[in-house]
Amino acid sequence: MSTYPEYWNRTMETAATPDFTKAQEQAFLREMDYIFANSIFYQRKFNEAGIKRDDIRSLEDLKLLPFTEKSELRDSQLTTPPFGDHRACPLQKIKRVYSTSGTTGRPTFIGLTQHDLQVWRETACRAFWTGGFRPDSMVPLVVAPFFIAASYADAIESIGTLVPIGVGATDRLINAFQNLGANAFLSTSSFPLHFAASLRQKGIDPKSLGIKIILAGGEPGAAIPAVREEVERTFGCIFLEMMGNGDMCGQIWSECRFKQGMHFVAQGAVQPEIVNPETHEVLPIREGTRGELVYTSLDRECMPLVRFLTRDHVEVTQTSCECGRTGFGIRVFGRTDDMIIVQGVNVYPAAIRDVVAALVPLTTGAIEVQLHSPPPQGWFPPVHIKVEHGPEAGHLPSLKKRIEETLRSQLIFKADVELVPPHTLPRYEYKAKLVRKLYEERT
C-alpha cells in the first residue's frame, strides 16, 4: 500500500448500502428543493406531469419524475439562448462554459458555477485516484475540446503534477515523458496503440517512456481484453478506463487495479439508474443487469438535470470489490444513437469494434461502419465495414473471412469486411466515430 495521504472520500466510496442510500436521498431532496424553486424548465415539465414538490418525499419517488432527453436541452437553448431555461442560477454566478457540437451543428452550452466546478473537481479526483494517480504522478494533458482540458487539469493538480500539451503536439508529448519524467497519461481508448505506432516510426521503444498508468475515457474500448493486453504489453503499464458525461459531470466512473468494471465514484453528486431502453422500466442494480444509464443531479447549481437519458448502454459487472469501494461497476457495450438495425437485429458499432479489437495484433482495432444508403426500415446485409489490418496480419483473405464469420456468429448479422492498411482510418482527438453515413455526405 502507498504511504501517501489518500485522496479519496473513504466514507462515501466505501459506504454500506443503507448509508449510501441515506446520503444520496438527503442530497436528492435538497436538489429537488433547488430545482422546483429555480428551474423554469423543470417547473414547466413537472407541472405538465402533474407533479408537485410535496409528491417527492424520498429517493424512491425519483421514479415518479419524467425523463429528460438531450433534444429537450438543445431546444431549450434555441428558444432561450444562450443557456436555455434549464439554467437555474443567475448569469453572474456562471464561472466556466463548455460546449459540444452535438448532431445539429449548433453548439450546446454547459455552464458551471464555482460550486459546480468544485463538485466536478472532486469527482475527477476520486476517479483519478481510483485509477492509480498519486502525488508522484506527472501527467501530460493534451488540451482537447470540451471539459477535459480545464476540469481534468484541476483534478490532476490536486493529486499530482500537470504538464499541459497542445493538441497534435506529439513531439512535446514525447518530450514530457523522455526529458521531464512524466509517468502517467490520460487518453481516449484508441489513442495508445496509435501513439505507439508513431513512436516506433521515430525509432522509440514505447516502454522506454516510463509510463506507469494510462487512464482512458471518451469512448469505450479500454476494457477489451485483447486491446488492454496489447497496450499494457507495449508500454509496460496499467491500462484502465473511466467515464463521465459532459451534460452531467466530468467524471462519474473509474476502474480500479482489480479491473472488474468502472466503479461509480460520484456519490453525493449524481444518482445513477439503469432502465430498460425501450420501456424505461427501472432495473435492479445487480451483476448482469443490462440497460441504459440515467443520471439525476444531486449537487448542481447552474444546469441541474433530472433523469437524463444518456443513451449509454451498460452492463453491471460487480457490486463489491477487493479495493473496498462499494460503488457498483459497469462496462459500456453500446449507444442508442449509434445502433443500426440489420434485418431486425440490433447491432451496436461498439460491439463490432470489440470483435475486431479482440484480434489485435492481426488488426489495429480500428473500424468504420459504412452505410451507403438510408434505410427504409433498417439496413440490409451485408453491412460494409472497413477494418484496419495489423502490419503482420498475414494472409488477408483468410483474415477477412475470419472477421466476417466471427461477426456472423457473435452478433448475428452478415458483414462485408474491407481490410485497409494500418493508419488508414481517421484518428480523433476526443471520440472515435465508428459509423460513417455516406449517403448524408452526398446530399
Local confidence pLDDT in tens for the 443 residues of the chain: 344 456 678 888 999 999 999 999 999 999 999 999 999 999 999 999 999 999 999 999 999 999 999 989 989 999 999 999 999 999 999 999 988 755 444 678 999 999 999 999 999 999 999 999 999 999 998 755 444 556 788 899 999 999 988 766 889 999 999 999 999 999 888 889 889 988 999 999 999 999 999 999 877 778 888 889 999 999 999 999 999 998 999 899 999 999 999 999 999 999 999 999 989 999 999 999 999 999 999 999 999 999 999 989 999 999 999 999 999 999 998 877 677 888 777 788 888 888 898 898 899 888 999 988 887 656 788 999 999 999 888 899 999 999 999 999 988 889 999 999 998 987 654 566 788 888 777 65
Q: CB neighbours of 116 closer than 8 A, spacing ≥ 6? A: 300, 301, 302
The topology (CATH level 3) of 1-329 is Rossmann fold (3.40.50)
The answer regarding whether domain 340-441 maps to CATH 3.30.300.30 reads yes
Q: Give the cell for residue 13.
A: 466510496
Residue 423 zone, left/alpha/beta (φ > 0; ψ -120 to 50; rest): left
Helix ranges, 132-213 (H): 153-159, 170-178, 191-201
Measure the CA–CA gap between 122 and 155, rounded to whole angstroms. Answer: 7
Angle between helix axes 349-357 and 396-411 (nearest 10 degrees) is 130
Hunting for cell 499541459 — which residue is that?
164
Q: According to CATH, where is 3.30.300.30 located in the chain? A: 340-441
Q: Give the cell for residue 425.
A: 482510418
Q: Give the cell for residue 151.
A: 476540469
Q: What share of the chain is helix, strand, coil (3-state, %, to 5)?
A: 35, 25, 40
Q: Is cis: bond before 206, omega within 30 of 0?
A: no
The confidence score (pLDDT) of residue 216 equals 92
pTM exceeds cut of 0.75: yes
The confidence score (pLDDT) of residue 343 equals 75
Q: According to CATH, where is 3.40.50.12780 located in the chain? A: 1-329
Burial level of 81, CB count in 10 A (0-12/13-18/19+)? exposed
Local structure of 432: helix, strand or coil = coil
Measure the CA–CA gap between 321 and 420, rounded to whole angstroms. Answer: 41
Measure the CA–CA gap between 421 and 190, rounded to whole angstroms. Answer: 16
The confidence score (pLDDT) of residue 60 equals 97
Contact 335, 311 (CB under 8 A): yes
Helix ranges, 8-148 (H): 10-13, 17-38, 40-48, 70-79, 114-131
